[in-house]
Amino acid sequence: MKRVIALLVIIILVIGAVVFVFSRTIVSFEQKNIKSIEITELDSGKKVSSFLNDSSAFLVKNTKYKVSYVGIDGYANGSRVFNSSDEMPIKLVPYFSKEKLLSLLAADSNTIHNSISRTLPDLLTNFSLAKEGLLQFGDWYVALYRYKGGYNLSSDSLRIVAKKVEGKWKPVSSPEIFLNSVSYPNIPKDVLEKANAL
C-alpha cells in the first residue's frame, strides 16, 4: 500500500512538473546599453524572478508583462509592455537620456539653426523659435516657432522636424500647425508626437 501511495505521489509530481513546463515559455531579450531589467506581470503587478540568465526568462505563456529597464550612463530608463507569445527577442534599446540630448543640442544648435534658416528663410521672417529639442539618439530635432506679429490669420504656431543625415542637419518636414504620419511616413511616430506636444 505504501508503494502505491509513493507511486501515486511521484505520478502527481511528474504530471504537475509537465503541466508547469508546458504552460511556460522562454522569453529572450536583446538588450543594449542597459544596466538592469525587471519584469512584472501586467495584471497582478507580481515581480518575475524566473530569469534563466541576463537575457532570458521563463514566463507563463500568453500573458502580458511589463519590462522596466535602467539605462547605463547617458541612456534613458524606460519600460515596455509585451506578451510572452510575441516574436522574440524582445528588443530593449534605450534612447539617449535627457541630459545627454540637452548637451548635444547645446553643441549642435548653431548648425541646426543655420540649416533651417538656409532651407526655410520665410519661417524666420515671421516666426521666432519658442521651444526645441533633440530626440532618440540625438539624430532627430523638433521645434516650435511662434508668430512674431499681432494676431491675424497667419498667427498660428508652427512645428518642424529636422534629421541629422551623414553629419548634416536637414529639415524633413514643412513648417505646419500639426504634423501627422500620413504626410510624413518616414518620421517616427514618437518624434511626431513630441513635435506636436511642444
On whether both 70 and 112 belong to a single domain, the answer is no
On whether both 80 and 143 belong to a single domain, the answer is no
On whether both 77 and 58 belong to a single domain, the answer is yes
The burial of 24, by beta-carbon neighbours within 10 Å (0-12 exposed, 13-18 middle, 19 or more buried), is given as middle
Write the pLDDT tens digit of every residue in 70-93. 999 999 999 989 888 877 788 888
Write the pLDDT tens digit of every residue in 114-162. 999 999 988 888 889 999 999 999 999 999 999 887 776 667 899 999 9
Q: Could you give the number of structural domains in the chain?
A: 2
Q: According to the model, what pLDDT value does residue 48 have?
A: 80
Write down the pTM of the prediction.
Answer: 0.77
On whether both 179 and 155 belong to a single domain, the answer is yes
On whether both 104 and 165 belong to a single domain, the answer is yes
On whether both 143 and 113 belong to a single domain, the answer is yes
Domain residue limits at 68: 23-92
CA–CA distance from 33 to each of 70, 77, 88, 132, 190 (Å)?
A: 9, 10, 19, 26, 20
On whether both 107 and 144 belong to a single domain, the answer is yes
Q: φ, ψ for residue 197 (rounded to 5)?
A: -85, -10
Domain contains 193: yes
Write the pLDDT tens digit of every residue in 27-39. 888 888 988 888 8
